[in-house]
């Protein structure tokens, strides 16, 4: 649920779901560190995200649990690579290889292949990761695989069109917005100008309705506060709403009118 809410731009709602699960003392609590770390990445707190990944792995180890740790090790590998700790990233790939063999799940094997492809710049592993994701028939997983590979400049960037369509079918506004940045970087045409404008407005409205400040929205959308101020002013002018409260109310009641 938290993952779905994040994809739809409902950041604080996702955090509330995670907090509720922690209060209820959910089983396998280390799994909650995965979407919580994702939230921190999105809000521009990579150090906090890395700490959550590390704490999740530590908690799982203390309780002798391996279920779901492949997700955490994948993030650990990408975190290590991002800060230039190549040896640590390689160690994470080794852990993932062992986990894939131990768990035997398609998800664990996909995570190992994905990490290996990115850390070792292994095109064969990248192809295998995409093939496995297709075989598993999990749309979000396939789109995420294609986007993650392209973000690290490996794999076929033209497959971003496929990921873009999948996320569109899932109404995943935030990944779609991030994919548009990637597609522009790789010189790939983004289809549907009016659809893009409508989604950008709806994502902005969702983030505002969720209670984020302009600074937080700017961080989430990888832009500036000034840009957000301008976009919000244009949104108010088009819709006739006079305040963030009116916009939030319209979103919550379903009265918001898309572009």
pTM for this one? 0.91
Q: How many Å apart are CA 88 and CA 34, to the nearest integer?
A: 19
Taking the alpha carbons at both ends of the chain, their separation in whole angstroms is 27
Rounded distance between C-alpha atoms, residue 252 and residue 209, angstroms = 8
Distance separating alpha carbons of residues 200 and 50, to the nearest angstrom:
29
What are the residue boundaries of the structural domains of the chain, listed by start? 196-259
CATH of domain 196-259: 1.10.10.10
Nearest to 209 by CA among 237, 235, 227: 235
Please report, in tens digits, the pLDDT of each residue of the chain (259 residues total).
999 999 999 999 999 999 999 998 777 899 999 999 999 999 999 999 999 999 999 999 999 999 999 999 999 999 999 999 999 999 999 999 999 999 999 999 999 999 999 999 999 999 999 999 999 999 999 999 999 999 999 988 899 999 999 999 999 999 999 999 999 999 999 988 889 999 999 999 999 988 899 999 999 999 999 999 999 999 988 888 888 898 888 888 888 877 6
Task: Give the pLDDT confidence score for residue 239 in this predicted structure.
Answer: 87
- Give the span between the Cα atoms of 112 and 109, in whole angstroms: 5
Cα gap 186→147, rounded to integer Å: 12
> Among residues 82, 34, 39, which one has the least CA distance to residue 54?
34
Question: What interhelical angle do 160-169 and 139-151 show, nearest 10?
Answer: 140
């Amino acid at each position: 649920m938290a993952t779905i809410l994040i994809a739809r731009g409902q950041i604080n709602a996702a955090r509330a779901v995670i907090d509720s699960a922690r209060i209820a003392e959910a089983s396998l609590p280390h799994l909650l560190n995965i979407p919580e770390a994702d939230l921190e990445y999105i809000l521009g707190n990579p150090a906090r995200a890395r700490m959550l990944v590390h704490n999740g792995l530590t908690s799982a180890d203390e309780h002798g649990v391996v279920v779901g740790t492949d997700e955490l090790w994948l993030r650990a590998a990408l975190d290590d690579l991002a800060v230039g700790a190549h040896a640590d990233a390689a160690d994470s790939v080794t852990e993932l290889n062992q986990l894939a063999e131990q768990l035997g799940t398609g998800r664990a094997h996909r995570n190992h292949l994905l990490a290996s492809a990115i850390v070792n710049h292994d095109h064969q592993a990248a192809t295998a990761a995409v093939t496995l994701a297709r075989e598993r028939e999990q749309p979000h997983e396939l789109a995420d695989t294609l986007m993650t590979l392209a973000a690290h400049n490996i794999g076929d960037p033209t497959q971003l069109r496929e990921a873009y369509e999948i996320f569109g079918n899932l109404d995943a506004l935030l990944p779609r917005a991030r994919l548009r940045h990637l597609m522009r970087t790789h010189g790939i045409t983004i289809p549907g100008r009016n659809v893009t404008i409508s989604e950008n407005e709806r994502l902005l409205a969702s983030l505002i309705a969720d209670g984020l400040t302009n600074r937080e929205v700017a961080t989430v959308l990888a832009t500036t506060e000034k840009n957000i101020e301008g976009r919000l002013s244009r949104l108010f002018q088009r819709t006739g709403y006079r305040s963030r409260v009116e916009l939030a109310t319209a979103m919550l009641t379903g009265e918001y009118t898309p572009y």
